[in-house]
């Protein structure tokens, strides 16, 4: 969690991938605020979330190329 906070201080957006429901529940139980970071179930979801965040930061007019999700290839 310190790495996430340090990354945020440097201006990065952290996307945590592969967090199982059990581990997420444990983190919440010990007081970790998961709402402060993007969490997704797997690497593909992380890539899609990163692309979505990149498009949003560039604005709708400059969406650039998009990689189709694995399920659509």
Domain residue limits, the chain: 2-61
Residue 55 has a pLDDT of 92
Residue 57 has a pLDDT of 85
Q: In the predicted model, is pLDDT for residue 70 greater than 70?
A: no
Q: In the predicted model, is pLDDT for residue 61 greater than 70?
A: no
pTM: 0.63
Give 34: exposed, middle or buried? Use CB within 10 Å, 0-12, 13-18, 19+.
Answer: middle
- Domain 2-61, CATH number (from 3.40.50.2020, 3.30.750.24, 3.40.50.720, 3.40.50.1220): 3.30.750.24
On whether the CB atoms of residues 37 and 4 are closer than 8 A, the answer is yes
> Could you report the per-residue pLDDT of 17-39, keeping only the tens digit for each?
998 889 989 989 999 888 878 88
């Amino acid at each position: 969690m310190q790495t996430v906070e340090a990354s945020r201080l440097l201006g990065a957006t952290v996307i945590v991938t592969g967090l199982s429901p059990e581990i997420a529940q444990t983190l919440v139980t010990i007081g970790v605020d998961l709402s402060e970071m993007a969490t997704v179930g797997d690497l593909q979801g992380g890539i899609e979330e990163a692309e979505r965040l990149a498009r949003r930061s560039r604005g709708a007019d400059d969406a650039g190329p998009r990689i189709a999700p694995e399920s659509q290839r």
